[in-house]
C-alpha cells in the first residue's frame, strides 16, 4: 500500500521542523492579540459555493465533494476563511465578543489539483481573520503580522505586493472596461480564461497561463476605477504601513482568486520556488459575513501555505530551531534496571525529555544510541550504583562523568539543563 497521489507523510524528523514553524506562528499571532479557532474539515459544499464563488477554479474543479450517508452534499475544506466566518455567524460571536474579533487557525486543506513542488492535494495553511472593523489600520496590522512572522522564520527576501480591488461598485465599472479590452484577444486566451471572460474576468489577471501575456499586462487597472471611499481607504493603508517601515510594491493588476475579496488585497511572493510564487496572501472580504447569513460586518485576513514556507526554508538553509528529541537517555544494568526505570519516570514528571535505552545491554551501544538521539546526558545505574544508592551521569558533549545520589538526580539534571 502506498500513500494517495498528492498526499504526503510527514515523518518524525521533518515533523519537528513543522512544530517549530507552527510555534513561531502561534506565538506571533498571540502577540498581536489573535486567539485560536478550530473548524471542521468537513462542511456543507454550499458554504464554499456561496463564499469562495461558484465560478472559481476551487469550486468548479478542485473541491473534494461527495454526498454523505444522510444525502447531504459535503466538501473537504479547501480554504479556511469560509469556515471561520460560518462559525462567527452560527455562534453569534458578533454579539458576544469585542469587535474586531481576531482569530487564527492552522490545519490541513484539500484541493484536487496537479501535485507539484510545494503544492499537494492535502496541504496545510496558517491563517488569521479579523471580523467587525473596516479600519484601514486593521488592514495594516494584518499585513504587518504577516511580515513580522515571515521575518521571524528567516524569510526576509519575500516581497509584499499590495493592491485594491475596490467595492462591488468599483468592480462593476472595472469589469466592463476589462471585458472591452480583452474581448478582441478572446481567441488568444486559454480555455479556462475564455470561460472566465464571461463569468469572472478579473481571474484572467491571475491566470498562470495568460497572466503574463502582453495584452493582459496592458489591461486597464482597477485602481483607476476606485470610488472616493476606496481610494481613501487604500491611501490610509499605505500610510499606516509606511509608518511601520513595512516595504511594499503597488501592484495594479493584483487579483485574488476568490470572489469574496473587496478593497485591500496583498501577496507575499518569492521567485526561488517558481516564477512569482505566492507564499502568503489575503485581503478584505467586507460582504462575506452578510452573505453567510450574519449582519453586514466587514472582515480581513490572510493564509500562508506551510509546504511552500518549508520549501523556502530548505532553500535558504535556515536552521529549523527544533530542539533535540531528548535531553537524557536512562539505562539500567543488572539490579539497577528497576531503579533506573523509576528514575526515568521521575525525570519525565519533572519536565525533562528523557528516553529509555531499549534493547541495549552494553554501555557502548547505549552511548551510541544516546548520541544519535541528540541527547546531552546519559544516566547509568548498575549493580554498584544500586548498592550505594547512586547514579552515574555522563555528559556526552564534554565526556565528563560524575556520580551522585539517586535522590538528587532530578534537581541536578534540571539545573544543568537550565
Beta-bridged to residue 65, according to DSSP, are 75
Return the residue matching grid coordinates 525533562: 352
Distance CA 384, CA 334 (A): 10
Distance CA 209, CA 197 (A): 14
Distance CA 125, CA 345 (A): 36
Give me 261's grid cell. Answer: 475579496
Distance CA 165, CA 269 (A): 19
Please spell the DSSP secondary structure of 150-193, one letter per residue. Answer: HHHTT-TT-EEEEEE---HHHHHHHHHHHHHHHGGGGGGS-HHH
The burial class, CB within 10 Å (0-12 / 13-18 / 19+), for 42 is middle
Distance CA 174, CA 201 (A): 10
Distance CA 119, CA 113 (A): 9
Phi-psi map region of 13: left, alpha, beta (phi>0 left; psi -120 to 50 alpha): alpha
Binding residues, by number, are 79-81, 111, 125, 129, 256, 260-261
Binding residues for L-histidine, by number, are 79-81, 111, 125, 129, 256, 260-261
Phi-psi map region of 357: left, alpha, beta (phi>0 left; psi -120 to 50 alpha): beta
Please spell the DSSP secondary structure of 31-43, one letter per residue. Answer: HTTPEE----SEE
Amino acid at each position: 500500500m502506498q500513500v494517495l497521489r498528492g498526499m504526503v507523510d510527514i515523518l518524525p524528523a521533518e515533523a519537528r521542523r513543522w512544530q517549530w514553524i507552527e510555534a513561531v506562528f502561534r506565538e506571533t499571532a498571540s502577540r498581536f492579540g489573535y486567539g485560536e479557532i478550530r473548524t471542521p474539515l468537513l462542511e456543507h459544499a454550499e458554504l464554499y459555493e456561496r463564499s469562495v464563488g461558484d465560478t472559481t477554479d476551487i469550486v468548479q474543479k478542485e473541491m473534494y465533494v461527495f454526498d454523505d450517508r444522510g444525502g447531504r452534499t459535503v466538501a473537504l475544506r479547501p480554504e479556511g476563511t469560509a469556515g471561520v466566518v460560518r462559525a462567527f455567524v452560527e455562534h453569534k460571536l458578533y454579539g458576544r465578543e469585542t469587535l474586531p474579533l481576531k482569530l487564527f487557525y492552522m490545519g490541513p486543506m484539500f484541493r484536487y489539483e496537479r501535485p507539484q513542488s510545494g503544492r499537494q492535494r492535502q496541504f496545510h495553511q496558517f491563517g488569521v481573520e479579523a471580523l467587525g472593523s473596516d479600519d484601514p489600520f486593521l488592514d495594516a496590522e494584518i499585513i504587518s503580522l504577516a511580515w513580522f512572522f515571515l521575518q521571524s522564520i528567516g524569510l526576509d527576501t519575500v516581497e509584499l505586493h499590495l493592491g485594491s480591488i475596490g467595492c462591488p461598485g468599483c468592480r462593476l465599472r472595472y469589469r466592463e472596461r476589462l471585458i472591452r479590452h480583452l474581448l478582441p484577444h478572446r481567441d488568444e486566451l486559454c480555455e479556462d480564461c475564455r470561460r472566465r471572460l464571461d463569468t469572472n474576468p478579473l481571474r484572467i489577471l491571475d491566470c498562470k497561463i495568460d497572466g503574463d501575456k502582453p495584452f493582459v499586462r496592458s489591461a486597464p487597472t482597477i485602481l483607476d476605477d476606485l470610488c472616493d471611499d476606496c481610494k481613501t481607504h487604500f491611501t490610509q493603508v499605505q500610510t499606516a504601513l509606511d509608518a511601520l517601515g513595512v516595504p511594499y510594491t503597488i501592484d495594479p493588476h493584483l487579483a485574488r482568486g476568490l470572489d469574496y475579496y473587496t478593497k485591500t488585497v496583498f501577496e507575499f511572493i518569492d521567485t526561488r520556488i517558481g516564477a512569482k510564487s505566492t507564499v502568503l496572501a489575503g485581503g478584505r472580504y467586507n460582504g462575506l459575513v452578510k452573505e453567510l447569513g450574519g449582519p453586514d460586518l466587514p472582515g480581513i485576513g490572510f493564509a500562508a501555505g506551510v509546504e511552500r514556507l518549508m520549501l523556502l526554508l530548505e532553500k535558504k538553509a535556515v536552521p529549523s530551531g527544533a530542539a533535540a528529541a531528548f535531553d537524557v537517555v536512562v539505562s539500567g544494568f543488572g539490579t539497577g534496571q528497576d531503579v533506573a526505570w523509576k528514575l526515568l519516570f521521575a525525570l519525565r514528571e519533572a519536565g525533562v525529555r528523557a528516553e529509555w535505552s531499549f534493547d541495549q545491554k552494553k554501555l557502548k551501544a547505549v552511548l551510541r544510541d544516546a548520541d544519535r538521539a541528540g541527547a546531552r546526558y546519559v544516566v547509568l545505574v548498575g549493580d554498584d550504583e544500586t548498592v550505594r544508592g547512586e547514579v552515574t551521569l555522563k555528559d556526552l558533549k564534554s565526556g565528563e562523568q560524575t556520580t551522585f545520589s539517586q535522590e538528587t538526580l532530578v534537581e541536578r539534571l534540571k539545573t544543568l539543563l537550565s
